[in-house]
């Protein structure tokens, strides 16, 4: 069966027992020591998204609808083009879910004041209610995760996640997080690059 099982140096993850997944020491770590993150990130994101998914399914919606609701709530009056820049999907993909949300009265479109070609997006009261439900359940999970980690965990967790974002995209996300309209001109067009 050959040497299928092991490649690379030892993959001990340095658990000392008092902490579920990580030790408190900071030995210089080889890259393979970081494998656990790949799994943690995968499982964490999966569970993080499954709560809203369950609610959305009751409305006949999916994850894509959630994203639209979320960012429209975050930046009321968002233009379609801006939303495309944030989500980095094609307008055809967006149109499919946006049309549903508009048709069913969760999102309201209004022509721009200065440029009437623009369709400014707003949540209806109905849309805001649904988005609130989704936000609440996700916020509770985050709160729970932070609760057991001493002070300073909040800042550190945010900065860790921020650091996971491709450098080129960080300015866009940074302004977005402040609830501002992002200048997306420098952000990565495809994946990394």
Partner DNA sequence: GACGTTATGTCAGCCATGTTGACTTATTGG
Partner DNA sequence: CCAATAAGTCAACATGGCTGACATAACGTC
Q: Which residue from 91, 99, 141, 181 is in contact with a second copy, where contact means CB under 8 A?
A: 141
C-beta of 60 vs 150, nearer to a second copy: 150
Contact partner, 119, from a second copy, DNA, none, Cβ < 5-8 Å per class? DNA
What is the widest separation between alpha-carbon atoms in the chain?
A: 70
Q: What is the pattern of x (binds a second copy, CB under 8 A) and - over residues 5-34?
A: xxxx--x-x-x---xxxxxx-x--x-xx-x
User: Pairing mode, if any, of strands 107-111 and 78-79?
Assistant: unpaired
CB of 133 to a second copy, least distance (A): 12
CA-wise closest residue to 55 among 65, 41, 43, 42 = 65
Strand, coil or helix: what is 174? helix
Which residues in 57-76 contact a second copy (CB under 8 A)?
A: 67, 70, 74, 76
Q: Which residue's CB is nearer to a second copy, number 39 or number 91?
A: 39
Per-residue tokens: 170:
């960080």
Check residue 111 for interaction with a second copy (CB under 8 A).
no
d(CA 4, CA 99): 50
From the list a second copy, DNA, none, which binds 133 (C-beta under 5 to 8 Å, kind-based)? none
The structure tokens 């309209």 sit at 181
Name 105's Cβ contacts closer than 8 Å, sequence gap at least 6: 124, 126, 127
| Contact pick of 90, 109, 162, 189 for a second copy (by CB under 8 A) | 162
């Amino acid at each position: 069966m050959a040497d299928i099982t092991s490649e690379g140096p030892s993959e001990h993850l340095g658990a000392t027992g008092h902490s579920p997944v990580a030790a408190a020491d900071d030995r210089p770590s080889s890259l393979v020591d970081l494998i656990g993150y790949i799994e943690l990130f995968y499982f964490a994101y999966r569970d993080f998204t499954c709560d809203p998914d369950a609610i959305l399914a009751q409305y006949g919606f999916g994850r894509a609808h959630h994203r639209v609701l979320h960012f429209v709530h975050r930046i009321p009056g968002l233009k379609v083009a801006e939303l495309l820049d944030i989500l980095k999907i094609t307008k055809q993909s967006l149109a499919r879910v946006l049309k549903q949300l508009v048709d069913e009265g969760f999102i309201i479109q209004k022509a721009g004041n200065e440029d009437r070609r623009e369709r400014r997006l707003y949540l209806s009261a109905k849309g805001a209610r649904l988005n609130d439900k989704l936000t609440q359940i996700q916020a509770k999970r985050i709160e729970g995760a932070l609760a057991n980690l001493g002070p300073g965990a909040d800042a550190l967790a945010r900065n860790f996640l921020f650091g996971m974002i491709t450098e080129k995209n960080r300015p866009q996300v940074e302004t977005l997080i402040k609830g501002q309209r992002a200048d997306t001109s420098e952000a990565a067009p495809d994946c990394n690059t």
